[in-house]
Chains A and B, each alone.
Chain A
Amino acid sequence: MTDFADRPTAGTQTESPGGVPVVEFQGVSKTFTTRSGESIEALRDVDLSVQPGELLTIVGVSGCGKSTLLRLVAGLVQPTSGRLLYEGEERTGARDDLGVVFQESVLFPWRTVLDNALVPAVIKRARRAEVEPRVRQLLADVGLSGFEKKYPFELSGGMKQRTALVAALSTEPSVLLMDEPFGALDAMTREQMNVDLRRLWQERSNTIILITHDVAEAVFLGTRALVMTPRPGRIKADMEIDLGAERDISLLGTAEFATLTGKVRRELDMN
């Protein structure tokens, strides 16, 4: 579709003109109070700035606060302390200008693939006629043409997550939040989804924040990877992933890839 040679790649974003971070965490902490009254410190003192066009991946053990971090960005929960800036400004309330793909498929079982992909447009009261061609094109892009009229129960897990991804992209959000989107998929489907996601990201210029607990996924996808500590989650390591813009499945077998995954894994293990 588009020429992606001129896209900013890893390492170049920080010097991009303007350089206002899409999302910025300034000393953000989040403590939950459970029903039984105890406090759970999910995140402690997180500083993070996400640059435009970045594909930021975040790895960490289960329960370390990854989803909480993403829910903060989405405005679904508020920080206990610290500040969250969007393009340099503070905002309150749920954000509706983001695309989200959650851990579990959130497809509506009573809607077809096409209608599920149109949910964001329906909620935002966009004109269907305007959005539908784009959505159909996106469905074709992720290999779902011919499945527009199928219902979620007629789809495989991978197809459901593709549909969720199309829905998230349908309103052309500048920031896409993905919380272990491929976590429930088998290894082969997941690799293919990773390749497809890279391609989709290169064809657009969204910023993506993707949570995963899979080190290979974090390295393969990311232009930058963060490693979090166990709860309370803090950012332990912040690595640029210099694997070039064009990545395909053969990358998984290379020495550079192994070195980088090794580095990330060591950071995770040192906790």
Chain B
Amino acid sequence: MASLVETSRTTPPRTRDIARNAGLFLVTFAVFVAAWEGFLRVLDISAILVPSPSSVVGALHTSLTTRPTGPGSYLSGAVSTYAAAISGFAIASVAGVLVAIVLAQSLTLERILVPYIVGFQTLPRIAIAPLFIIWFGNETESKIILATLVAFFPVLMNSLAGFKSTPPERIEYLRTLGATRLQLFWRLQLPGATPYVFAGLEVALVFAILGVIVSEFVGGRRGLGVLILQSHYSIDVAGVFSVFVILIVIGLTLRMLLVGARKRVAFWAEGEDSAAL
């Protein structure tokens, strides 16, 4: 019976790719650190302006060993910052997707509300941070609210674009099968929008962390942003950089979790794995 034997395209071996990417990363990272250290020595730049990689590692080591836990430690700072950032991110994600779903159902609603949303979006939301400190105090609430607010828009706008990107011929196809509106949504619009939603979530994650750090700068009592300021005031540039290292490491980890989730949920939209991290 089988008349045409067609072979399916095979996927490239993934583990080899990962190993190669990791190797490449280690090499470039080593070169980068060496170049950094080398430049500082050759150009004789003061360690007060730009710390050397070795002094950053030193500062990091000292902070982690002299005060591993408790108030003012990197650990409690990171917990405070990321608890707020992840809460804000989570609230913004749920709210952003839900509002996008509502807006996608009615063109009228979208026409009425989108100008307000875009208008509000053009206001640099970071500028509201001082106000939030006044309104909600210098505790976690302020941080979460600012993080939510800055992370909300990328989720909303990307999800909305996703819900509206449903190819009309697919809608028509389901209509010829007698699909209800609800079926159209669950079976077609929602799964089709997931790559867009994830694109929004990836931006939102960065924005949420940004929001928390800004909130901490403006008037926080705890968190990595506060630690940066403290090092800054004591002109401890290596200390500032050592917090950057923590921010980068945790930020990358969270991002990789998100990318991992995207690759599981929206695997079918992975054209090319361009972004390794």
Contact = CB atoms under 8 A, between A and B. Distances in A.
Q: Chain A interface residue count: which class? A: 35 or more
B187 interface: yes
Interface stretch (B26-34, B172-180, B233-241): B172-180
A94 interface: yes
Contact of B174 (A123, A141, A158, A195): A123
Contact of B268 (A96, A110, A119, A124): A110
A268 B175 CA distance: 33
Interface stretch (A26-34, A44-52, A144-152, A204-212): A144-152
A192 B172 contact: no
Interface residues of B, number: 28
B269 A119 contact: no
A195 B3 contact: yes
Contact of B9 (A94, A154, A196): A154
A75 to B, nearest CB: 8
Contacts of B268: 109-110, 151-153
A196 B175 contact: no
B188 interface: yes
Contacts of B5: 143
Interface in A74-128: 74-76, 94-96, 98, 100, 102-104, 106, 108-110, 119-120, 122-124
B169 interface: yes
Given A94-B176, A100-B173, A123-B174, A159 B2 contact: no
Given A76-B175, A110-B268, A151-B268, A143 B3 contact: yes
A140 B173 contact: no
Contact of B187 (A76, A122, A143, A152): A122
B191 interface: yes
Interface string A233-250: 000000000000000000
B42 interface: no
Contacts of B2: 140, 143, 145
B169 A158 contact: no
Contact of B169 (A102, A140, A153, A159): A102
A176 to B, nearest CB: 11
Given A94-B176, A95-B176, A108-B191, A192 B3 contact: yes
Given A124-B178, A151-B268, A106 B173 contact: yes
A76 B172 contact: yes
Nearest to A98: B176
A196 B175 CA distance: 27
Contacts of A36: none
Interface of A: 74-76, 94-96, 98, 100, 102-104, 106, 108-110, 119-120, 122-124, 140-141, 143, 145, 147, 150-156, 158-159, 189, 192, 195-196
8 contacts: A96-B177, A98-B176, A102-B169, A110-B192, A123-B183, A158-B4, A159-B6, A192-B3
